[in-house]
Amino acid sequence: MDRTIVLITGCSSGIGLHLAVRLASDGSQSFKGIGGDQHRGQGGAPTGKQGDESFIPSQILVYATMRDLKAQGPLLEAARARGCPPGSLETLELDVRDSDSVAAAQGCVTEGRVDVLVCNAGRGLFGPLEAHELDAVGAVLDVNVVGTVRMLQAFLPDMKRRHSGRVLVTASVGGLMGLPFHEVYCASKFALEGLCESLAILLPLFGVHVSLIECGPVHTAFYEKLEGGPGGALERADARTQCLFTHYQRSYEQALSEAQDPEEVTELFLTALRAPRPALRYFSTDRFLPLARLRAEDPSGSSYVTAMHRKAFADLQAQEGPEAGASAPGDQDATSSALICLPGCASPRVASELCWPASDKPGQDKPCYQQKS
């Protein structure tokens, strides 16, 4: 029985590390419609129709890649602790910023194919836009966007030729909605959404499926590895912007302290892999879905901008008073302020479906996503 060959980028830490170990430690997974030549008829044509419901057990070999193999210690330690069988995990050096490095790693895959490609490598940038060096901006776009394109250009042609394969991309809620002080990061993740959504229309004709794993905050070293550090060259920003960033950073760090465990996100990757007809998007948390819906319901963008402005800065404005410019942009009336919501709820219609009225204060065991009876 041929193995299912999985290649994952960005495995030195975080989601990539956990996913590589999770897959390698389980000797036999069941994936539908992906894998080696035993799934094909004559001429390499797939045996069975698209979306075939039969499970195909297959041994897995994971190629865990990273920019510098000197950083592979935590991965190997986690693999030993998890009891990964010998031969189930290989490490490769691969820098998604370098086409030659991608080609060299591809040449090291001795099986000659990759059945599952996981584009996980990513970089972050956090702070006022004017505080970022252009080199840092370029690095984030190169890794997050161009690096993903390099990987797809390298591995998609063979998947299409074999009429078999899965592509999973680590995405972010920052690719579905703009977030203050994450402008460049969100730009890179918005680009990934467009890239993968466009491919998702075409690739099923070749027996290949692409899925985005939409993550909220996750407990990883991502924050510590931000390009230029948190805030960048903050002194370049005006005093007001610096103050707003410092305020926002505190709430952002609080959100990080309540982030998901990478193992939770890892299970979502497996859900996408096991699906006979995988969806384009899988969400690791439903916390941000009301905001995503809000963006779709008001194409002008005004409702979302108002909602996020309130969420990010309303308490600061309340402290400073109306003279500091407390009104939210695009705020034409106070209707939505009649509802007190958890992060992600703002418009009257969305909030009325998913939140509690103002008379029910937070802390009374009324979850934001509880449907009204």
* Residue-wise pLDDT tens digits, 10-47: 999 999 999 999 999 985 565 555 644 434 333 333 33
Average pLDDT over residues 236-262: 83
Count of beta carbons in the 10 Å neighbourhood of residue 74: 15
Residue 332 CA to residue 203 CA, distance in Å, equals 44
Average pLDDT over residues 97-117: 97
pLDDT number for residue 321: 55
Count of beta carbons in the 10 Å neighbourhood of residue 290: 23
- pLDDT tens profile 278-337: 999 999 888 888 888 898 899 999 999 999 888 888 777 555 555 444 444 544 443 333
Lowest mean pLDDT among 207-211, 232-236, 274-278, 357-361: 357-361
Q: Measured at the alpha carbon of residue 167, what is the angle toward residues 163 and 170, in degrees to the nearest 5? A: 175
pLDDT number for residue 81: 94
pLDDT number for residue 219: 65
| Burial grade of 345 (CB within 10 A; 0-12, 13-18, 19 or more) | buried
pLDDT number for residue 100: 98
Average pLDDT over residues 258-276: 88
- pLDDT tens profile 55-77: 445 689 999 999 999 999 999 99
Residue 262 confidence (pLDDT) above 70? yes
pLDDT number for residue 312: 85
Instruction: Output 199 or 3, whichever has higher pLDDT.
Output: 199
pLDDT number for residue 180: 94
Q: Do the beta carbons of residue 280 and residue 211 sit within 8 Å?
A: yes
Residue 253 confidence (pLDDT) above 50? yes
Average pLDDT over residues 189-210: 97
CA 108, 109, 113, 119 torsion: positive or negative?
negative
Closest-CA residue to 285 (of 263, 262, 269, 265): 265
pLDDT number for residue 95: 97
Q: Active site residue: 185, 248, 282, 304, which one?
A: 185
Lowest mean pLDDT among 162-166, 232-236, 360-364: 360-364
Residue 310 CA to residue 155 CA, distance in Å, equals 44
Q: Do the beta carbons of residue 276 and residue 52 sit within 8 Å?
A: yes
pLDDT number for residue 224: 65
Which residues are within 8 A (CB) of 76 and not within 5 positions of it... i.e. 6 or more apart? 91
- Indicate the pairing of strand 165-172 with strand 208-215: parallel
pLDDT number for residue 343: 35
Average pLDDT over residues 183-212: 97
Q: Do the beta carbons of residue 124 and residue 231 sit within 8 Å?
A: no
Residue 362 confidence (pLDDT) above 60? no
On average, the pLDDT of the chain sits at 79
Indicate if 282 belongs to the active site. Answer: no
Q: Do the beta carbons of residue 79 and residue 236 sit within 8 Å?
A: no
- pLDDT tens profile 123-176: 999 999 999 999 999 999 999 999 999 999 999 999 999 999 999 999 999 999
